[in-house]
Amino acid sequence: MQYPHVDLRLPDWMDEFVEKYRATDFSTDEAMMRFAIALGAENVKQGTGGPFGAAIFVLDPSDGKTKLLAPGVNRVVPDHNSEAHAETMAQGVGQQMTDSYSLLQAGLQKVTLVTSCEPCAKCMGSIEWAGINRVVIGATKDHAESIGFNEGNKPPNWREYLRNTLKIDLREGVCVDEVAAVFEEYKRKDGIIYNGDGMGLPRPKIRLETNGSLISRVVPVADTAVLAQSAANTK
Ligand SMILES: [Zn+2]
């Protein structure tokens, strides 16, 4: 019995996509946010995940400029992982690049997380341990919930907690209309709303392969009624 590795992977188009931004001036919040929004839009266009984009930017002390460290897009459905929100992806990619669990601990300066939508309850928690100085947010959770996503239950004082307790600077409401347009496009394309309850969608039939009390495999089972029907149709 060997359990699978848990992999979070950026989509195949990412490397080429990011290359287009090699000469971009990321000195403003709007410039950084437009990059995060473009990531979400490309994810929708390519059908490689949810409509959310995020990125980690840091200071390059050698020239004083803000530079992209790590991009992130939502990969919940393709990576089979409810953790794979855009913020988690960007933080994780940055941490892999620095061989560190914390971006600040790794020695980076002015670490900014830019996210096209307000962090959900899960991502709000992860920000605390990622090693971040600043968070820049586009749309609110109400925008995400208006197309069906469940954003969870953050403490009502989350803004004060970020600013006063964690000493993380916060700016909200950057390029909101541009984020909303990406959400609308996702909805128009009938993108999957992947809340944990499955939104009442039909659940596949499965069979458990076991070794005593241990489950060794979860195997999808073809629906025999559907198979019989399709066999009848081909006669
Ligand atoms: Zn999240």
Task: Note the pLDDT of residue 228.
Answer: 59
How far is ligand 1, taken at its centre, from the CA of residue 59, in Å? Answer: 25
pLDDT at 58 over 70: yes
How far is ligand 1, taken at its centre, from the CA of residue 3, in Å? Answer: 26
What average pLDDT does the chain have?
Answer: 93
Least confident segment among 35-39, 55-59, 160-164, 204-208: 204-208
How far is ligand 1, taken at its centre, from the CA of residue 92, in Å? Answer: 13
Task: Note the pLDDT of residue 67.
Answer: 98
Task: Note the pLDDT of residue 194.
Answer: 86
Beta carbons of 121 and 152 less than 8 angstroms apart: yes
Task: Note the pLDDT of residue 224.
Answer: 62
For 1-31, what is each residue's pLDDT tens digit?
A: 789 999 999 999 999 999 999 999 999 999 9
Beta carbons of 114 and 35 less than 8 angstroms apart: yes
For 210-232, what is each residue's pLDDT tens digit?
A: 999 999 999 999 866 555 555 55
Task: Note the pLDDT of residue 197.
Answer: 81
Task: Note the pLDDT of residue 231.
Answer: 57
- Nearest-angstrom CA–CA distance, 127 and 8: 17
% of the chain surpassing 90 pLDDT: 86
Task: Note the pLDDT of residue 223.
Answer: 66
For 93-148, what is each residue's pLDDT tens digit?
A: 999 999 999 999 999 999 999 999 999 999 999 999 999 999 999 999 999 999 98
How far is ligand 1, taken at its centre, from the CA of residue 120, in Å? Answer: 4
Would you give the distance in Å from CA 165 to the centre of its chain?
25
Q: Residue 180's closest CA among 136, 119, 139?
A: 139
State the pLDDT confidence band at 200, using cuts at 50, 70 and 90: low
What residues contact residue 77 under an 8 Å CB cut-off, 6+ apart? 49, 50, 192, 194
How far is ligand 1, taken at its centre, from the CA of residue 142, in Å? Answer: 14
pLDDT at 168 over 60: yes
How far is ligand 1, taken at its centre, from the CA of residue 235, in Å? Answer: 49
User: Can you spell out the DSSP letters for 186-201?
Assistant: HHHTT-----TTGGGP
Residue 110, sorted as left (phi over 0), alpha (psi -120 to 50) or beta, turns out to be left
Task: Note the pLDDT of residue 198.
Answer: 73
Beta carbons of 19 and 32 less than 8 angstroms apart: no
